[in-house]
Amino acid sequence: MVLQQMFTLFSIKTIHCLLLWRKSEMICKVKKTLCRFSMLNGATEIIVGFSGGADSTCLLYILNSLKDEFNLKIHAVHINHCLRGEESDRDENFVRDFCDKNSIMLSVLRADVLNEAKKAGQSVEEYARNLRYDYFQSLSTETSKIATAHNLNDCEETMIFNLARGSGLKGLCSIPAVRGNIIRPLIECTRDEIEIFCKENNLQYVTDSTNLTDDYTRNKIRHNIIPLLKELNPSFDTSFLRCVTALREDEFFLEKETEKFYNSINLDFGFDADVLSRADNALKNRVIAKIIYDKCKSLPEMKHIEMVVSILSGGKAEIISGETIVVRRGILYFLSDLVCKNFTEEKIIFSGNVWKNDFVKLELNNECTQKIYKDMVLSTLDWDKINGSLFLRKRHDGDKITLPVRKVTKSLKKLFNEMKIIPETRDSLIVLADETSVVWVEGIGADSRVVPDKNTRKFINISMVD
């Protein structure tokens, strides 16, 4: 009898120790992810997306248990999309109760997503996602991180979904562990690990009934395709993590190369299409995608990239958001970026020491004042070297300028061609000329004849008007 009691007591203690070890193991795994991806750099607060499901309940519980160790404030956020009637209200009530019991700060947003999505002309999924992240960001500060409960299985489903859509490497990298101030501490944990953790720690959670059906593409992948892959390879989760890690390393390298090449062909008024056309296809496609994204704030499909590739030797193509890309004389630019200044040609008569119009400002200064203003002006001329009156005008046929550094005289037409200045904008560039010749051209600079020297006593400072 005594031996039986001792064995029972030993078993209870063993089970208790095992549960503590399992709990500690899961928390350690999350801590390793936080450190591996430098998720908490400079953070004083974590805004946690909390739906009430197993994933977000596990995430909130673990982060709340780590708040003292990392000196963090935890702020839970719940969005009631009002899509599932009483079930949506049940989720909100559960979230409120959980946060109240655990003394966690909570913010709740209710939104009629179905009707608002229709008004916005978006799918329910797209509108709901944008709503969530916009709300998270509205609550964040410079030292906040936004934590979402995406896990390893979510990554698997996203990769398969993107593969089916024909995505490139970026899409196959699936959900990033960190994107800006958004972090995903459970990204290396499986759904099974999360549910076991919840069970062993008596964490209640709610289940979204729509996750149990095959009405959505993601659910079809989860319920049908993933199980088949695990039949083929029981260690699929481990293999997937190894694969996606390698893909992300490749993507990181290619992103750096893309950024370097993008900067090398980025002109003030467009992009060098000739150089772009000669690039390797992988780099070419990535740079075009970046050009489109930077302008349209929307990821282009492959068909949009192919349209741009097809016109690199010349032409135009209408892409997303109603934007039109034009390639002319070796320059790629957006039609909407063309800003043609409309000004009249006139003789410059200073009012005091200043003359200005809507685009340019000229200011006369003496030697002393010039030293103060030298870092604030676009260009400087020697007033005493101006022959007769000074005129503001557009380019004229036969205009030439002598460049100060090389003392080479060239026509403006030739310089514009060499600098690949878009033809549509050339007549809106400001030219200053005296009664002898051109003295300054916007985008090119001053003629060597009027450049200040050690004997200059009066200066003309030229600056553009914002």
Rounded to whole angstroms, the Cα distance separating 293 from 463 reads: 32
Q: What is the pLDDT of residue 379?
A: 87
Judge whether 323 and 329 are in contact, CB under 8 Å: no
Helix (H, G, I), strand (E, B) or coil at 164: helix
Rounded to whole angstroms, the Cα distance separating 20 from 186 reads: 19
Residues of the chain with pLDDT under 50: 2-3, 5-7, 9-10, 16-19, 375
Rounded to whole angstroms, the Cα distance separating 315 from 329 reads: 10
Domains and their CATH numbers in the chain? 2-247 (3.40.50.620), 268-337 (3.30.465), 346-464 (no CATH)
Q: What is the pLDDT of residue 259?
A: 97
Burial 197-223 (b: 16+ CB within 10 A, else e): bbeebebebbeeeeeeeeeeeeebbbe
Q: What is the pLDDT of residue 197?
A: 96
* DSSP symbols for 388-437: S--EEE---TT-EEEETTTTEEEEHHHHHHHTT--HHHHTTS-EEE-SSS
Interhelix angle for 113-120 vs 124-139, to 10°? 100
Q: What is the pTM of this model?
A: 0.68
Estimate the share of the chain in helix, then strand, then coil, as percent rounded to the nearest 5. Answer: 50, 20, 30
Q: What is the pLDDT of residue 6?
A: 47
Q: What is the pLDDT of residue 104?
A: 98
174 dihedral zone (left: phi>0; alpha: psi -120 to 50; beta): left
Q: What is the pLDDT of residue 452?
A: 92
| Residues facing 37 on adjacent strands | none
Q: What is the pLDDT of residue 376?
A: 54
